[in-house]
Structure 1
């Protein structure tokens, strides 16, 4: 429920405050605070800990899982060329997933208390505090939960022997996405391709939040017509 004239106190846990903004939430959340120090989410220290992750935890935790999944398909008799095709297809699946989640789930419109609260926890905080270096990648616990529906989804169109490698490719795509995302915010690229990708993503954050939903590439933005008309400077 919105509270008339409500103002967020940045010195207090934010997650259960922002819902009170009501219709003002959309404007508030897209006015970024550029600081490496992130806000507190919850009063509970345990809940707060679960929201913070160092970037290197992503490859450390998930690359061994990727290798194990791929090795399962190898043991089930697939050749190297077949494995490469399956992993490549899994990465392709991830690029579409990345775009779809970002566009339709992370940027859903809301003005209710629980809608605002859910949006802030899912993605709104990232637009409000885009340089928070401990909330730029997904905590392993969150990803572990999401792995189950993704595995079962892949099982619906893949065979028992190809499912592990396709899933491994999808998970590899996620690892590349999250590490790339961190780099785009905190890295200082010198090569043209990463520099352009950084400009593209910063444009999404600071100029046109309803365009440019790709992170690792602009492929699906081009396909679905969500390319921004111009890019901001780095």
Structure 2
């Protein structure tokens, strides 16, 4: 097995920092949209609720290339949103901002599912009591519902970050593979494997795997089920 050279180790920082930047911004966008959608779905009583939830969860099951194609149709130069953005001098295709958009779309369902489950676990009687006391709906959300659901939401946010960090297919289609500009960790791994550079590929895989394992462990610790299992083990001992 080839060992990575010092130049390879130095070159890893560029896709690593870019991946962290892309995943960070994508997580912010996915969190804002996911929490809002989860709150609405958790308080909406309709037969169409599950249909809307299924449509919003599609990026979790669709092939990444399909998501990338949809984004190209939407944000490409001939796309209806792409033309509108170009009129303001904004272009997403083959930019790191395009990578953010692609990663945000695939990470969105992670936040949606976790946040919706967390909001459904909130005791609605507390919200109703606050409303009876004259508290505004916005204050009820920010002072009662959101704090009580925060641990579940944070677990979803961490899963979304891990998903955005490892995104490959949609990012490659929308942002391309431009070293130093749009080449994230997953794309750098693909390029290293194609070039037969085992040393760089092994090191990139180890860095990505270690980051994802740490994030998943933290997300598991934040979930209510994980806390109950640990409490049970402590009680048994």
TM over 0.5: no
TM-score by length of 1: 0.31
Name whichever structure is richer in helix by fraction.
Answer: 2
Q: Which has the higher contact order (CA 8 A, sep 6+)?
A: 2
